[in-house]
């Protein structure tokens, strides 16, 4: 199920494309967003090697679902699912600090850590980026500038433009 409807897209972009064609564009844009920052419904990230006190998440977390830490020798690791008192999520949702006074006491993270978490609410931001990607797809003529009298044109790199739009997803996480 898309977070952006065809009606929302049509309110932002004037087009003669059918709802079916618009939905295909929306679906492709949302897949690109998921590929870039991960799915909206949850995220799993692995850190290796760690051996430090703070982990930096690629996108902010609203909450931590679980953290599995591997310690001891890499050839015969101890796998521990941490308790909520073993770590602390920063206010901005970007950092997870390992606490040394929790149920599973350690001053640093183990050599391998798997974090499962729920994204911070970012539906509106994802919608705006999806609209901009769809606008680029729908209106892209292959030219960044055209002139009719004595014909002149400048080309634009579609991939570069798409990357600029997708980077907005990361920039909005910075506090």
Chain length of the chain? 175
CA dist list (Å): 88 to 62, 85, 91, 106, 128: 12, 7, 9, 13, 31
- Residue 62 near residue 93 (C-beta atoms within 8 A): yes
pLDDT at 143 over 70: no
Residue-level pLDDT at 175: 35
Residue-level pLDDT at 144: 62
What percent of the chain stands above pLDDT 70? 89
Q: Looking at the whole model, is its pTM more than 0.75?
A: no
| Mean pLDDT for the stretch of residues 44-63 | 87
| Mean pLDDT for the stretch of residues 71-90 | 88
pLDDT digits (tens, 9 = 90+) for 86-139: 999 999 999 999 999 999 999 899 889 999 988 777 778 889 999 999 999 898
Residue-level pLDDT at 101: 94
- Residue 80 near residue 133 (C-beta atoms within 8 A): no
Exposure of 54 by Cβ count < 10 A (0-12 exposed, 13-18 middle, 19+ buried)? Answer: middle
Query: Please, what's the b/e burial string for 87-104 (b: 16 or more CB within 10 A of its CB; e: otherwise)?
Result: bebeeebbbbebbeeeeb
| Mean pLDDT for the stretch of residues 143-157 | 71
pLDDT digits (tens, 9 = 90+) for 5-36: 999 999 999 999 999 999 999 999 999 998 88
Query: What single string gives the DSSP state of each residue in 101-154?
Result: TSSS--SS--SEEEEEEEEPP-HHHHHHHHHHHHHHHHH--SEEEEETTTTEEE
């Amino acid at each position: 199920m898309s977070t952006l409807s065809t009606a929302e897209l049509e309110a932002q972009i004037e087009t003669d494309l059918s709802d079916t064609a618009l939905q295909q564009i929306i679906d492709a844009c949302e897949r690109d967003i998921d590929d870039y920052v991960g799915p909206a419904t949850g995220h799993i990230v692995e850190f290796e090697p760690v051996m430090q006190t703070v982990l930096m998440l690629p996108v902010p977390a609203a909450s931590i679902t679980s953290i599995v830490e591997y310690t001891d020798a890499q050839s015969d690791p101890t796998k521990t699912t941490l308790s909520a008192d073993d770590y602390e999520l920063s206010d901005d949702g970007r950092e997870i600090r390992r606490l040394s006074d929790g149920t599973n006491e350690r001053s640093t993270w183990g050599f391998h850590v798997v974090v499962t978490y729920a994204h911070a609410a970012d539906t509106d931001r994802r919608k705006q980026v999806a609209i901009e990607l769809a606008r680029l797809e729908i209106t892209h003529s292959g030219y960044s500038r055209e002139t009719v009298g004595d014909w002149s044109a400048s080309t634009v790199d579609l991939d570069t433009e798409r990357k600029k739009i997708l980077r907005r997803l990361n920039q909005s996480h910075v506090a």
